[in-house]
Structure 1
């Protein structure tokens, strides 16, 4: 299969994502500049972390208007798997592909540290190689990672099993300690922690490998989402 890792001006985790996907799957991975308008040649799409457009206005607020985002939306609507990591998650919420928003951490500090996550959904194409209730170690690196949404939205996310991961401890003030959410169809995942930085023992964790491996398996097996 072929992966697209979207690169915006200010992305800085694109090479990390390419290396992690290659390590986990051995698949072909292509870095795609944000001005590309056609993502049909790719089987899965990753929006990596970084500081797209310098985080001016709000994180992800300008990147949502990049030409590639129309293609991301089209492929998501066609059922392809889309993963947004950190800034990628912020972009997906700004673009309306995921509910809620990411705002300043409640302590107003940038945090770069290993975080313990709880797997809340093990039935999605992104999480099928984890176990529900399992605790995994995935690092965070964000200053604006506090997830917020209306209570009705939070209730619906919980009811529908669309909360993919929560933080085991409160690291940024996120509502209900949410670390990652799925869209209604289940083929778009956004999460603030960085699975691409947890793929080798020397990194302190290899728990991120299974996320990329799960995506690979879902695509190879032709899993239909939605």
Structure 2
């Protein structure tokens, strides 16, 4: 299996992801510059966090037009895995691969913290390493991480079980107090209808190395590895 980690001007979490996929999991990984368009050698596309194109206009708005994103759209529509983390989630919504949008945090402040998340389903290759309803702790770092969608889209997300991670308290209860940024329905991560595209604001790659004191994010990558023979 080969990971491809996209690098935009302003990306700053690309090496973090490479450390997990290549450094810890020993999987071949290629950094893909935003002007490239050939993804034929890539099995899993990962769009990292950071500030693509300086977040001019709004987060992810310029990145969606890059050559590599046009190829990523084709990759996703072919049913292949695409993961967007933080700014990557913002890019996926701008590119139309995921519904809704990420807007300014409720208090208009940049948040850097660790957040409890409830795993809403574990029947996807992204989450098969977790238990449904499990509470995990994953770092967050964003200024525009509040998930927003209209009422019809929110209903569709809930009805189709596309909400994968939800902000919650330590006991697994979503509440206004456990919502760090004002996301509607406490949404922290969603997938597309097919389940092969996942966008999440929290950073699983920052909770995947024992040296950091938390490995709650590692199960996401390990589950993906176990599923790849069936996805190939």
Do Structure 1 and Structure 2 share a fold, with TM-score over 0.5?
A: yes
Q: Are 2:41 and 1:41 aligned?
A: yes
Distance 1:208 1:24, change over 3 A: farther
In structure 2, how many angstroms separate the alpha carbons of the residues matched to 1:94 and 1:163? 18
In structure 2, how many angstroms separate the alpha carbons of the residues matched to 1:78 and 1:98? 15
In structure 2, how many angstroms separate the alpha carbons of the residues matched to 1:8 and 1:216? 25
In structure 2, how many angstroms separate the alpha carbons of the residues matched to 1:37 and 1:123? 32
In structure 1, how many angstroms separate the alpha carbons of the residues matched to 2:211 and 2:112? 17
1:23 positional shift: 4.6
In structure 1, how many angstroms separate the alpha carbons of the residues matched to 2:114 and 2:44? 27
**Which secondary structure does the structure 2 equivalent of 1:222 belong to?**
helix
In structure 2, how many angstroms separate the alpha carbons of the residues matched to 1:24 and 1:158? 34
Q: Are 2:87 and 1:78 aligned?
A: no
Q: Are 2:206 and 1:197 aligned?
A: yes
Match of 1:171 among 163, 167, 180: 180
- For residues 160-192 of structure 1, the C-alpha deviation after alignment (integer angstroms, 9 at most, x for no partner) is 111000001110000000000000111000000
Is the 1:180–1:190 contact (alpha carbons within 8 Å) kept by the matching residues of 2? yes
Is the 2:80–2:231 contact (alpha carbons within 8 Å) kept by the matching residues of 1? no
Q: Are 2:61 and 1:61 aligned?
A: yes
Q: Are 2:91 and 1:91 aligned?
A: yes
Instruction: Please name the residue that 2:105 is paired with.
Output: 105
Instruction: Please name the residue that 1:25 is paired with.
Output: 25
> Higher relative contact order at CA 8 Å, sep ≥6: structure 1 or structure 2?
1
In structure 2, how many angstroms separate the alpha carbons of the residues matched to 1:200 and 1:30? 20
Structure 1 residue runs without a partner (length 5+): none
1:202 positional shift: 3.4
In structure 2, how many angstroms separate the alpha carbons of the residues matched to 1:113 and 1:104? 16
Between stretches 23-32 and 127-136, larger displacement belongs to 23-32
Q: Are 2:197 and 1:188 aligned?
A: yes
- Residue-pair matches, total: 223
TM norm structure 2: 0.94
